[in-house]
């Protein structure tokens, strides 16, 4: 600083600019290492007949792609088993269940 003052007036960088220079490369590197969001991240799906084979497989596919899933079925026992399996694999926070008969209009109106 003394040497710079001998030639001209010394003026340091503003604190924010200094911070930006120091940390931008680190931040950029961190952002590049982050995993890309899955295709259905932030989306929700309701799978009717979700306790059966095709419905459960559909729920698995949606969950694998990042969606949160509500599994609906009329069979309470099969629904509980499917929910347990999906929650164990994908976590409790992305799987919900609802017991209902989707062929009954009253099931939707009363829900």
Tell me the CATH number at 100: 3.40.50.720
E strands, 4-111, are 44-48, 68-73, 95-99
User: Number of structural domains, the chain?
Assistant: 1
Least Cα distance to 48 among 106, 88, 100 occurs for 100
Domain that holds residue 91: 44-109
Least Cα distance to 86 among 35, 43, 51 occurs for 51
Can you give the pLDDT at residue 2? 66
By three-state DSSP, how is residue 47 classified? strand
Print pLDDT tens along the chain (111 aa): 566 666 777 677 788 887 777 777 777 888 888 888 899 999 999 999 999 999 999 999 999 999 999 999 999 999 999 999 999 999 999 999 999 988 888 876 655
Can you give the pLDDT at residue 106? 80
Which H or E element spans position 15? helix 15-33
Task: Determine, yes or no, domain membership for 55.
Answer: yes
């Amino acid at each position: 600083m003394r040497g710079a003052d001998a030639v001209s007036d010394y003026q340091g960088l503003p604190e924010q600019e200094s911070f930006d220079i120091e940390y931008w490369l680190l931040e950029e590197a961190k952002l590049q290492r982050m995993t890309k969001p899955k295709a259905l991240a932030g989306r929700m799906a309701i799978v009717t007949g979700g306790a059966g084979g095709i419905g459960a497989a559909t729920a698995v596919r949606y969950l694998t792609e990042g969606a949160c899933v509500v599994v609906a079925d009329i069979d309470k026992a099969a629904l509980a088993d499917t929910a347990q399996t999906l929650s164990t694999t994908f976590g409790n926070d992305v799987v919900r269940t609802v017991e209902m008969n989707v062929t009954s209009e009253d099931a939707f109106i009363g829900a």
